[in-house]
């Protein structure tokens, strides 16, 4: 087992996925805004339709989770914190192990339920 003070600290973020709905809507607006009486209407319409087909054919990207190392250990980061920072770290640990909607708590601290532990940390 690795001691918590020596564990590498990482930051995990969720990178949202991306579809092309906004770009498709913009091209559709451009098509609606074309002036049918303009001399190059047919050429512009063909270009916009081609762009619309291209965008519709592009694959959407799914959201993904990225974890990046900070170059610090958890212990180093803890030692840099003031009392409020320590409470925030502890609160984050409790919240990481408890999610609303679980059928039962999966983490307790000192006999407290996770919500009680969070309230106690917030009040201190």
DSSP string, 94-121: HHHH--TT-SS-S--BTTB-HHHHHHHH
Does residue 3 or residue 80 have the better pLDDT? 80
Of 13-27, 62-76, 84-98, the range with the lowest mean pLDDT is: 84-98
Q: And the tokens for 90?
A: 């502890």
Listed by start position, the domains of the chain span 7-71, 81-124
Which residue in 26, 2, 1, 5 sits closest to 80, CA to CA? Answer: 5
Looking at residue 64, its pLDDT comes to 85
pLDDT of residue 99 exceeding 80, the answer is no
Query: Averaged over 12-26, what is the pLDDT?
Result: 89
The Cα 38–Cα 103 span in angstroms is 64
pTM of this structure: 0.45
Looking at residue 2, its pLDDT comes to 45
């Amino acid at each position: 087992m690795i001691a918590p003070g020596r564990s590498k600290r990482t930051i995990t973020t969720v990178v949202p996925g991306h579809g092309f709905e906004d770009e498709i809507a913009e091209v559709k607006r451009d098509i609606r805004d074309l002036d049918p009486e303009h001399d190059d209407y047919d050429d512009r319409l063909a270009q916009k339709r081609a762009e619309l087909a291209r965008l519709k054919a592009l694959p959407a990207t799914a959201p993904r989770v990225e974890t990046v190392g900070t170059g610090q250990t958890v212990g180093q980061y803890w030692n840099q914190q003031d009392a409020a920072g320590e409470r925030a770290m502890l609160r984050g640990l409790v919240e990481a192990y408890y999610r609303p909607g679980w059928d039962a708590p999966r983490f307790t601290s000192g006999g407290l339920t996770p919500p009680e532990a969070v309230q106690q940390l917030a009040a201190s």
